[in-house]
Amino acid sequence: MIIQKSIRQMKKEAWTLIAILYLSSISLLMLTVNVLPKTGVDSFYIIGGGLMALTSLLSWKEAYKLVNRINEANGTKKPE
């Protein structure tokens, strides 16, 4: 019973992390593509913003893998 509660809590935390990372990566990407070039900011900052957005997307992918592992541990999904 305690293990199931902790698995549920981990699922909630993982999905919250996915949502936060997804929204932050979209906002960083929008900032990089739309706002920064119009303000005359150096290309260094544009490239840095793009790398930050890419890092956020990769973190989102890792968080999604975490949810899959939790599902496997819970027995709701079979391992590949």
Q: Are 28 and 49 in contact (CB under 8 A)?
A: yes
User: In 1-80, where does DSSP find H-type helix?
Assistant: 2-30, 36-39, 43-74
pLDDT in tens, 33-50: 776 666 666 666 667 777
**Dist CA 3 CA 7 (whole Å):** 6
pLDDT in tens, 7-39: 777 777 777 777 777 777 777 777 767 766 666
Residue with token string 């920064």: 36
pTM of the full predicted structure?
0.44
Task: Tokens for 15, please give them.
Answer: 């999905």
**Dist CA 47 CA 72 (whole Å):** 38
